[in-house]
Amino acid sequence: MAGASGIVDCRLTIGDLRPVCRQARSKIKLLVLLSAWLLICGDVLGAEARSRPQNVQSSLALRSMARVYMACGDYQKAQPLLETALSQAQATNVSDSELCACLIDSAYLYKERGNLSQAETMCRLGLALQEKIHHANHPYVADTLRILSEIYRGQGRYEEAQSTLQRAIAIIRSVRPEDGQEVAPFKVDMARLLMARGDYANAESYFKEAIDVIDKSFGPEHLYTAKVRCSMATLYSLQGRNAEAETLISRALPIYEKIHGPDHHFLIPLWLVKARANQAKGRMAEAQSLLDKSLRVARKADCGRLIQGEVLSELGQFYLQNRQFSKAQDALMQAVEMFENSQAVESAAALHALAKVYVEKGKYNEAQSLCRRALNILEGISDQAHPRTADVLETLVQLNRTSGNAKEVARLEQRVEEIRVPKPAAYAPAAKSFQ
């Protein structure tokens, strides 16, 4: 979508550049693309841009180069360019729109690199300036609210993520048709948020509603269509619906590989889903190969702490399943460190898996402490019991049974049963839930 990352003079976004980067397989080719991109910017801006002070052109040029790198997933090269662009914009008399674009592009970059605190600061500053330039209900504001919601989701601040995204959806629905391609990405974001919160049924409804529009609007071979299918596959994988997950991944993977190449870090989410499916089918060698590759690529690309933490957590759980407890402990301790004090669901998964390792090693006090930390995170994610909560409670049942605390065992088993036994849906139909 034009303008998806905020106020930009060229009205071209990072997403618009992704297809261009399928040719960027070498530094020489990338430099050629950068030069061409700057020429495009110059053509779009026309005489007005050429008449601007040099400092404005410098900020815009740096930002444009950074965007090409970000579209290719090379955040390490993009960061110094954006930092310089922002410094120039703050130190000189640039327009509010250029400063706003620098701030929002920086927020996007820091979000992708897992520096969520810095991302939030930049996004809030950009949002305030954006509302000053336009108004609080402008479509550009809705796009920036999407970024802010993703930041909150990464931090585990799910209530704020949901209220922020609800505001964004209300704005975009007021200016765009409900079944249009502009609204569909907002529904995808809501689906991803609901998936993180453990509301798998409504997440699937949002995904299905959005994918029909996206498939028709962008086409089945478009990268964004493939990206949504990857998210849907992740949902099915979490539900144990591995055959459906594999089908979606088999459609998405060739598109990712065609555009980014076979070893790009953007493929990590797809590899993780494939690894889970292989584990479920007993294909352990294939699963480990994908997990090892994911970790190697994530570290080489310096993807950020959150992605590396997720990969390490998956690898640790793989080792746990295969009773390689020392390897599992090492991977999971690294994962917990990567998540630091995150309140995200991925952090809870790593803590619980590490607790299970300690149970196997007879370290019951450490295991109980980790379970409590995981449970605190999961109980703060949603008013409804998260599906993973029952797993943690079952580990606590095991620990309390070992210590002979029959009363606590009975209490915890009752809670597990309440979560496991199907109940009538507590939510309204997805299409109406957030209108």
Residues near 156 by beta carbon (within 8 Å), at least 6 away in sequence: 342, 343, 344, 345, 347, 377, 380, 381
CA distance 406 to 402: 10
> Per residue of the chain (435 residues), what is the pLDDT tens digit?
333 333 333 333 444 444 444 444 444 344 444 444 443 333 333 333 444 444 545 889 999 999 999 988 899 999 999 999 999 999 888 899 999 999 999 999 999 998 999 999 999 999 999 999 999 999 999 999 999 999 999 999 999 999 999 999 999 999 999 888 999 999 999 999 999 999 999 999 999 999 999 999 999 999 999 999 999 999 999 999 999 999 999 999 999 999 999 999 999 999 999 999 999 999 999 999 999 999 999 999 888 889 999 999 999 999 999 999 999 999 999 999 999 878 999 999 999 999 999 999 999 999 999 999 999 999 999 878 899 999 999 999 999 999 999 999 999 999 999 998 866 544 444 444 444
Q: What residue spans define the domains of the chain?
A: 1-133, 159-218, 219-303, 313-435
**What's the confidence (pLDDT) of residue 92?**
87
pLDDT at 137: 95
Please state which CATH class domain 1-133 belongs to. Answer: mainly alpha
Smallest CA-to-CA distance from 96 within 66, 132, 65 is with: 132
Topology alike, domains 1-133 and 313-435: yes
Per-position DSSP letters for 257-297, written without gaps between them: HHHH-TT-GGGHHHHHHHHHHHHHTT-HHHHHHHHHHHHHH
Model pLDDT, residue 196: 95
Per-residue b/e over 193-224, b at no fewer than 16 CB within 10 Å? bbbbbbbbebbbbbbebbbebbeeebeeebbb
Q: Does domain 219-303 have CATH number 3.40.605.10?
A: no
CA distance 85 to 73: 19
pTM here is 0.84
pLDDT at position 155, please?
Answer: 93
313-435 folds as 1.25.40
